[in-house]
Amino acid sequence: MNELTHLDHEGSVNMVDVSGKEVSERVAVASARIDMQPKTLRMIVEGSHKKGDVLAVARIAGIQAAKQCATLIPLCHPLMLSKIDVRLEIDEEHSCVHVESSCKLSGRTGVEMEALTAASVAALTIYDMCKAVDRGMTINAIMLKHKSGGKSGEYNADV
């Protein structure tokens, strides 16, 4: 396993210097799942929620979260993302919403944290909008599914 990159030789926390890295196209895909009661999911699908279109707000929140990642995660670099996509899929059989986010840029550092943040915040937004009717919702399976670009190359989760 590689050494932790955010610690210097004395064990102090530092932001990684990426200035010497090659610019490459970098892509990351992350996912999350939010489980809920069937009646809550029905309310989302039917658009009958008093707060409005839950999925549209969650999608926008995920996009905004990816853009703000460096303000949320202390050692992340501010990035000029060229693409952010947040997709939400209703799963009536399992009474959940699957969230998948992808982030892309040409740069010197990866976009994994941005994709993970987008997926997490989209799921959190669904929780926030629906908590009045279902406080028992759970957010699960937040994970990096894919990353490409950079020196470490490609990664695909075994899912």
Quick one: pLDDT at residue 38?
98
128 is catalytic: yes
User: What does each of the 159 residues of the chain score in pLDDT, given as a tens digit?
Assistant: 457 676 677 777 877 878 888 899 999 999 999 999 999 999 999 987 777 899 999 999 999 999 999 999 999 999 999 999 999 999 999 999 999 999 999 999 999 999 999 999 999 999 999 999 999 999 999 999 999 999 889 999 997
In a domain, 158, yes or no: no
Give the CATH number for residue 50: 3.30.70.640
**In the sheet where 155-156 sits, what is the strand order?**
83-91, 96-107, 24-35, 138-148, 155-156
Q: Which residues contact 12 (CB under 8 A, 6 or more apart)?
A: none
Quick one: pLDDT at residue 1?
41
Q: Print the domain residue range for 135.
A: 24-150
Enter the pTM of the model.
Answer: 0.91
Domain count, the chain: 1
Residue from 46, 49, 126 nearest 88 by CA: 126
In a domain, 6, yes or no: no
Residue of 8, 53, 91, 128 marked catalytic: 128
In a domain, 49, yes or no: yes
Quick one: pLDDT at residue 124?
98
The answer to whether residues 84 and 30 touch, using CB atoms and an 8 Å cutoff, is no
